[in-house]
Amino acid sequence: MRKRILIGLLCFTLCAIACNDITMQQSRENFSVSIAMDNTISKIATSDLVLTKVKILIRDLKLNAHFGEDTSNVQTGVFVATLNLNGVLNEIALSDLPSGTYESAKFEIHKLEKAETSPDPDFSEDSFRYSVIVEGTYLENEFIYKSKKSAHQHIKFDEPIELVDGDNLNITLVVNPNDWFIKKGKTLDPTNGKNENDIDKLIMKSFKKAFRDQNRDGQPD
């Protein structure tokens, strides 16, 4: 009797290990998205304004399949993308995607709605909600700029990107926040409310480039 119990326990343990193994294989994360400064764009020289922190609220990051209407969810819901201003990539999403060829990325720069819980308290203040937060100094005085705008982004890759079974793929999204406060070669004072509309437009139009970046150097492979 004792022998049968031991055999049963052994079989149960082996089955549990095997099931756990299968689950781990099925949930293997094979795709990542990183965000980085666009170092292919020369920074407009200005000593007036220095950025120290950039945070962007993103909702529902997806990839569009090549020659089709199918989309694959990379990350659903609202999450924060923090941009490293020293040029180092920052991974903002990790997912398990089906193999295939993808042609573009879609997401929303998202201002929180009243019913939504903020993943970061900086994006919710009293009755106000924000989508982008920038900290820095202007004329050596500290400032915090908070955008209240939302905008859908659709970024087409320079060429379709293939994800093959068994491979890991990283795509890098690049943006140049230095250009958010420059218009016609002149610095926009981030503390002046009259510049808010211009700054918001520059922010929302700056997400234009994403590409395959396996070695994570911020350059297309």
Residue 155 has pLDDT above 90, yes or no: yes
Instruction: Give the domain range for residue 107.
Output: 29-212
Residue 1 has pLDDT above 60, yes or no: no
Rounded CA-CA distance 55/84 in Å is 9
Is 73 contained in some domain? yes
Rounded CA-CA distance 64/74 in Å is 11
DSSP alpha helix (H) spans, 52-129:
none
Is 145 contained in some domain? yes
Cβ(46)–Cβ(183) under 8 Å? no
Q: What is the arithmetic mean of pLDDT over 177-190?
A: 91
Question: Worst-scoring range by mean pLDDT, 17-31, 122-136, 166-180?
Answer: 17-31
Q: How big is the chain, counted in residues?
A: 221
Q: What is the arithmetic mean of pLDDT over 35-40?
A: 81
Rounded CA-CA distance 186/136 in Å is 17
The SS3 of residue 70 is: coil
At 115 the pLDDT is: 84
Is 161 contained in some domain? yes
Name beta bridge partners: 105.
63, 155
Is 24 contained in some domain? no
Whole-prediction pTM value?
0.82
Is 37 contained in some domain? yes
Is 10 contained in some domain? no
Is 138 contained in some domain? yes
Is 147 contained in some domain? yes
Q: How many domains does the chain have?
A: 1
Counting residues of the chain whose pLDDT is more than 70, the rounded percentage is 82
